[in-house]
Structure 1
Amino acid sequence: MTSRKMVDTLKERIGIKNREYTFDSKKDTLRIVNSESGKGITVELPGIIARWENKKEEAVDEVVYYVEEALSVMGGEHSLEGSEKRIFPVIRSASFPSEAAEGNPFLFDEHTAETRVYYALDLGNTYRLIDSVMMKKEGWAADRIRHIARFNVRSLSTDVKTDIVAGNTFYFLNTNDGYDASRILNDAWLKAMKERMAGTMALAIPHQDVIIIADVLNDTGYDILAQMAMSFFASGKVPVTALSFLYEDGELEPVFILGKNKTREDF
């Protein structure tokens, strides 16, 4: 599957009614605009193609759904006032755009060397990132949004699934509510997980819909975590980072783990 073929596939599936497409071959991206509102979304084609190699049409279905949901809310009027319970933080990579296509700066904070924290208004099946225009229009201060979002993320479920591989315990949080990676901002939960560790606590947020926490008891545990992080990163709809982190004294420290090119079946 080439980028050009993927562009043609997406255009066929999404359609041309009220839609404008711009393919940037240098950046390998496709910009899709709602012609009525003039607003749009840019998708990175390499990630979509990588998922297509594994999931075929299901990967295209996911992108089409994501794009159509995003375009359907663009241009609508959405208010922060009265929507306090629907304001959440979202984790993005450090390379994620700092402003909307229209030039409006997003509200975001630096998180780690690999990640940033943006803030979003939940709209049900999608959400809108909060930008300076939205804040100014309603007279909301940035600290107010930060406080509300951090409070709301602590109310989200933190149920995890557990797996033990080569003597290391792995915990997976994957609710698919759009804010799984955001749970990394729940300090109380991370501290509680730390108390469960028999060894070193390491974690990964490869994409927005999963957190992997590892209780590492041997070097093999680091290798497995690195492979998991890379696999999830390649398959995620909104990739964040393939790097892992060590959690010590309430701080996250990015760590590069050089895997030994083994598969799970090797352990």
Structure 2
Amino acid sequence: MDTKKMKTELEKRLKHPSRSFIFDREKDQLRIENIRTGKGITVSLPGIIAKWHEQKDQAIDEVVYFVEEGLQAMKEDQVHLTGNESKIYPVIRSTSFPAHSTDNVLFIFDEHTAETRIYYALDLGNSYRLIDENLLKSEGWTLERIRETALFNVRALPINMKEDLVAGNKYYFVRSNDGYDASRILNQAFLKEMEEKISGTMVLAVPHQDVLIIADVQNDTGYDILAQMAMSFFSSGRVPITALSFLYENSELEPIFILGKNRKKEK
């Protein structure tokens, strides 16, 4: 699979009379736009090709789903925060995630760690819309109100975990596939509850939006295993966040690099 073949395949799968395709040969990016509104989504082909070599058609299926849902969400012009308070959630994204929409409108977000930010989204069912300044102003809401509402809602989400014991270290996986698994890292009551269960060092990872990993690390091997897990999830996730892990100490998250047996806090 090369760039030309991937471009052709995506264009075939996403073809629609209301859409146009713009290929940036220099950046190896394909943009899918709504002809009427000019709004669209840009995907990087090398990343999709790399996933295709591991996952074959599943990698393309995920991209097509992401684009279809994203374009559908962009058509939802008449969305409202008021009356939909229970559908407002925080979403964790990397610090490299765009701060502005394709219309150059600033998204509403809070700084979280050196690796992550907290954006806010209105859940639309099968998709969501990130909340931007225009929506905030049109509804007369404040960032503080958005923040309080979103954090309240994420605390109310059910938490289903699976456990795995490897080389004396215990790993907990939160995977509800509701789009907000990584967001559960913002539930301080849950993190405190987990801290009480953990006898070793508490380390967390949010490699992509659909997983939160909590590790009870008892030995150096435990760090290495978590690093491998985080990198694997990061490489396969539809919305990657970070392959780095986080120490949880004194209710704070500290990004760490894990290299063999050495753990180094990020400055």
**Considering the TM-score relative to the shorter chain, is it more than 0.5?**
yes
Give the alignment's TM-score, normalised by structure 2.
0.94
- Does 2:214 match 1:213? yes
The Cα shift of 1:163 comes to 0.3
- Does 2:231 match 1:223? no
> Secondary structure of the residue that 1:112 maps to in structure 2?
coil
List gaps (5 residues or longer) in structure 2: 262-267
Identity of aligned residues (%): 63
- Does 2:99 match 1:98? yes
- Does 2:62 match 1:29? no
Q: How does 1:49-198 map to 2 (within 5 A)?
A: 49-76=49-76, 77-198=78-199
> Secondary structure of the residue that 2:65 maps to in structure 1?
helix
- Does 2:237 match 1:251? no
Q: How does 1:32-51 map to 2 (within 5 A)?
A: 32-51=32-51
Give the alignment's TM-score, normalised by structure 1.
0.94
C-alpha separation between the residues in 2 aligned to 1:103 and 1:119? 17
**Residues 50, 234 of structure 1: 8 Å contact kept:** no
Q: State the AA in 1 paired with 2:54.
A: N
**Residues 93, 115 of structure 1: 8 Å contact kept:** yes
C-alpha separation between the residues in 2 aligned to 1:148 and 1:172? 26
Q: State the AA in 2 paired with 1:124.
A: G
C-alpha separation between the residues in 1 aligned to 2:174 and 2:215? 12
C-alpha separation between the residues in 1 aligned to 2:192 and 2:26? 44
* Aligned residue pair count: 260
The Cα shift of 1:45 comes to 2.5
> Secondary structure of the residue that 1:257 maps to in structure 2?
strand
**Residues 50, 235 of structure 1: 8 Å contact kept:** no
> Secondary structure of the residue that 2:156 maps to in structure 1?
coil
C-alpha separation between the residues in 1 aligned to 2:63 and 2:174? 22
> Secondary structure of the residue that 1:239 maps to in structure 2?
coil
The Cα shift of 1:153 comes to 0.3
> Secondary structure of the residue that 1:215 maps to in structure 2?
strand
C-alpha separation between the residues in 2 aligned to 1:139 and 1:44? 36
Q: Deviations for 1:154-190, whole angstroms, at most 9, x for unmatched residues?
A: 0111111000000000000111100110001000101
C-alpha separation between the residues in 1 aligned to 2:260 and 2:48? 25
> Secondary structure of the residue that 1:20 maps to in structure 2?
strand
**Residues 119, 129 of structure 1: 8 Å contact kept:** yes
The residue that corresponds to 2:203 in the other structure is 202
C-alpha separation between the residues in 2 aligned to 1:256 and 1:121? 33
The residue that corresponds to 1:263 in the other structure is none
C-alpha separation between the residues in 2 aligned to 1:194 and 1:145? 28
- Does 2:38 match 1:15? no
Q: Deviations for 1:181-210, whole angstroms, at most 9, x for unmatched residues?
A: 000100010111111111000011000000
Q: State the AA in 2 paired with 1:211.
A: L
**Residues 208, 238 of structure 1: 8 Å contact kept:** yes
Task: Note the aligned Cα RMSD (angstroms).
Answer: 1.2
> Secondary structure of the residue that 2:114 maps to in structure 1?
coil
The Cα shift of 1:3 comes to 2.7
The Cα shift of 1:52 comes to 1.2
**Residues 206, 233 of structure 1: 8 Å contact kept:** yes
**Residues 107, 131 of structure 1: 8 Å contact kept:** yes
C-alpha separation between the residues in 2 aligned to 1:62 and 1:41? 14
> Secondary structure of the residue that 2:117 maps to in structure 1?
strand
Q: State the AA in 2 paired with 1:193.
A: M
C-alpha separation between the residues in 1 aligned to 2:208 and 2:137? 30
In the superposition, relative to structure 1, how do residues 98 and 26 fare at CA in structure 2: closer, same or farther (>3 Å)? same
List gaps (5 residues or longer) in structure 1: 261-267
The Cα shift of 1:30 comes to 2.1
